[in-house]
């Protein structure tokens, strides 16, 4: 394998843009737009409501059915507090690795797709290859949705989508959903020696968190009939909690963040509806048992849909053939794949590099992995030119 993949110069440019999810990605999108325009490829931009971020969608080849979407995200996780041995936004190539923030998750795949555009143009594609670059994947997974909405509307519906998250080029056909929530319990302050004069938000929140524990235990018992996930059940977790001002004051406010990561067959409304019923009971029987003292509010922050197995789909058959494998697998992390699937596009997650190198100091993608990704895209281009 080559020690200097052709995508390295583009990866160097992409890593140089600080596109942490809290920042704008427009400079990167401007660069990619200019790069593609220089090759004669038209792009459409899909901004967020604030106008400080945008997704990009480009089509190479005829506007015909049967195409393939190559999907990557442009945002990356923060570097603050991590012990990097060099500038995170200056790509270093050493020891068979390309090191930099986002190198594997997932600017490496983005760079591979962009570097392959000249080959796509020369190949005489019979079916199109669409390149979709999104924003906010690391926070909400909503940044690709406006671009996805074009398919089946003013662009032909593709036959497959390949989301290039790092899977070491394994064909992934399923992952869990991710749903996050913020619950605020409002009570009424009073002396702890006279609890009938108020309502403790902390005590009520404790009941709600106990209910989440009961739901979590039930999910473990329910398990995963497919036996494909690790852990083999829907997980429920409270990650942060804060409330109260002093030991001897009934707490006026308590808030906690919680989440669930659901198996693909879990109804995403099941756990929120059960929690809502518990909240109504706790508000009635505890917060307001001595008077109209409190209320409970829950904000559903994020829902990343799961990717459900679709045995024998066009995406599965295509990717298994391209990687030379006989079976699909699963991953424990969420992706944008569920949004493509919900739009009626058969979807597989498959990309170069390992998730084990993501989200940490000195994040890297191996040069051999980039070379493998380049070969993978070469096989895809040849297939789309048949």
**Among 357, 302, 305, which Cα is nearest to 336's?**
305
| 1 within some domain | no
Any residues with CB less than 8 A from the CB of 272 and at least 6 apart, and which? 179, 181, 298, 300
Residues 267 and 322 occupy one common structural domain: no
Q: Does residue 91 lie within any of the structural domains?
A: yes
299 within some domain: yes
169 plus 30 within the same structural domain: yes
Last residue of a domain, one of 275, 304, 333: 304
CATH number of the structural domain spanning residue 269: 3.30.70.360
Return the HEC string of the chain: CCCCCCCHHHHHHHHCCCCECCCCCHHHHHHHHHHHHHCCCCEEEEECCCCCCEEEEEEECCCCCCCEEEEEECCECCCCCCCCCCCCCCCEEECCEEECCCHHHHHHHHHHHHHCHHHHHHHCCCCCEEEEEECCCCCCCCCCHHHHCCECCCECCCCEEEECCCECCCCEEEECEEEEEEEEEECECCECCCHHHCECHHHHHHHHHHHHHHHHHHHHHHCCCCCCCCCCCCEEEEEEEEECCCCCECCCEEEEEEEEEECCCCCCCHHHHHHHHHHHHHHHHHHCCCCCCCEEEEEEEEEECCECCCCCCHHHHHHHHHHCCCCCEEECCCCCHHHHHHCCCCEEECCCCEHHHCCCCCCEEEHHHHHHHHHHHHHHHHHHCC
Active-site residue identified among 20, 136, 137, 211: 137
Q: Is 75 a catalytic residue?
A: yes
pLDDT at 369: 98
Looking at the fold, whether 163 and 240 belong to one and the same domain comes out as: no
- Tell me whether strands 364-366 and 97-99 are parallel, antiparallel or unpaired: antiparallel
Question: Within a domain: residue 71?
Answer: yes
Examine the domain organization and report whether 296 and 327 are in the same domain: no
Whether residue 158 is found in the same domain as residue 207: no
**Of the listed 12, 20, 75, 259, which one is catalytic?**
75
Q: Are residues 251 and 357 in the same domain?
A: no
Show which of 269, 304, 339 is a domain's final residue: 304
Same domain, 280 and 358: no
- pLDDT tens track of the chain, all 386 residues? 445 789 999 999 999 999 999 999 999 999 999 999 999 999 999 999 999 999 999 999 999 999 999 999 999 999 999 999 999 999 999 999 999 999 999 999 999 999 999 999 999 999 999 999 999 999 999 999 999 999 999 999 999 999 999 999 999 999 999 999 999 999 999 999 999 999 999 999 999 999 999 999 999 999 998 999 999 999 999 999 999 999 999 999 999 999 999 999 999 999 999 999 999 999 999 999 999 999 999 999 999 999 999 999 999 999 999 999 999 999 999 999 999 999 999 999 999 999 999 999 999 999 999 999 999 999 999 999 99
In a domain, 133, yes or no: yes
Are residues 335 and 369 located together in one domain of the fold? yes
* Residue whose entry in the numeric block shows the structure tokens 């990866």: 11
**19 and 152 fall within a common domain:** yes
Q: Are residues 47 and 103 in the same domain?
A: yes
Q: Which pLDDT score, from 0 to 100, does residue 1 have?
A: 40
Q: Evaluate whether 129 touches 68 at the Cβ level (below 8 Å).
A: yes
Q: Which domain holds residue 163?
A: 8-174+306-384
Domain count within the chain = 2
CATH number of the domain at 380, please.
Answer: 3.40.630.10
Same domain, 182 and 287: yes
> Does residue 2 lie in a domain region?
no
Q: Which of 258, 280, 304 is where one domain is finished? A: 304
The answer to whether residues 295 and 325 belong to one domain is no
């Amino acid at each position: 394998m080559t020690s200097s993949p052709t995508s390295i110069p583009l990866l160097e440019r992409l890593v140089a843009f600080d596109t942490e999810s809290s920042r704008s990605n427009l400079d990167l999108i401007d660069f990619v737009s200019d790069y593609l325009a220089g090759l004669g490829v038209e792009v459409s931009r899909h901004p967020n409501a604030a106008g400080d971020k945008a997704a990009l969608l480009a089509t190479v080849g005829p506007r015909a059915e049967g195409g393939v979407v190559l999907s990557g995200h442009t945002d990356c996780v923060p570097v603050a507090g991590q012990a990097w041995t060099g500038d995170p936004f200056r790509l270093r190539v050493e020891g068979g690795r390309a090191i930099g923030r986002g190198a594997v998750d997932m600017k490496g795949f983005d760079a591979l797709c962009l570097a392959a555009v000249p080959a796509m143009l020369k190949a005489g594609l019979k079916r199109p290859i669409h390149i979709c670059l999104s924003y906010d994947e690391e926070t909400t997974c909503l940044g690709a949705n406006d671009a996805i909405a074009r398919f089946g509307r003013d662009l032909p519906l593709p036959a497959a989508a390949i989301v290039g998250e790092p899977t070491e080029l394994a064909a992934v056909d399923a992952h869990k959903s991710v749903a996050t929530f913020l619950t605020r319990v409002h009570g009424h302050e009073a002396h702890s020696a006279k609890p009938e004069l108020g309502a403790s938000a902390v005590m009520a929140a404790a009941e709600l968190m106990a209910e989440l524990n009961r739901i979590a235990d039930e999910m473990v018992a329910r398990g995963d009939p497919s036996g494909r996930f690790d852990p083999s059940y829907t997980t429920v977790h409270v990650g942060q909690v804060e409330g109260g001002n002093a030991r001897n004051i009934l707490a006026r406010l308590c808030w906690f963040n919680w989440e669930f990561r659901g198996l693909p067959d879990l109804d995403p409304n099941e756990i929120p509806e059960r929690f809502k019923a518990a909240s109504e009971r706790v508000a009635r029987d505890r917060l307001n048992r001595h008077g109209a003292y409190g209320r409970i509010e829950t904000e559903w922050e994020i829902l990343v849909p799961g990717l459900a197995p679709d045995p024998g789909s066009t995406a599965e058959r295509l990717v298994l053939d391209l990687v030379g494998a006989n079976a699909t697998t699963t991953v424990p992390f969420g992706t944008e794949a569920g949004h493509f699937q919900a739009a009626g596009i058969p979807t597989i997650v498959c990309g170069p590099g390992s998730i084990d190198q993501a989200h940490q100091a000195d994040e890297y993608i191996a040069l051999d992995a980039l070379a493998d990704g380049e070969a993978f895209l070469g096989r895809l281009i040849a297939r789309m030119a048949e």
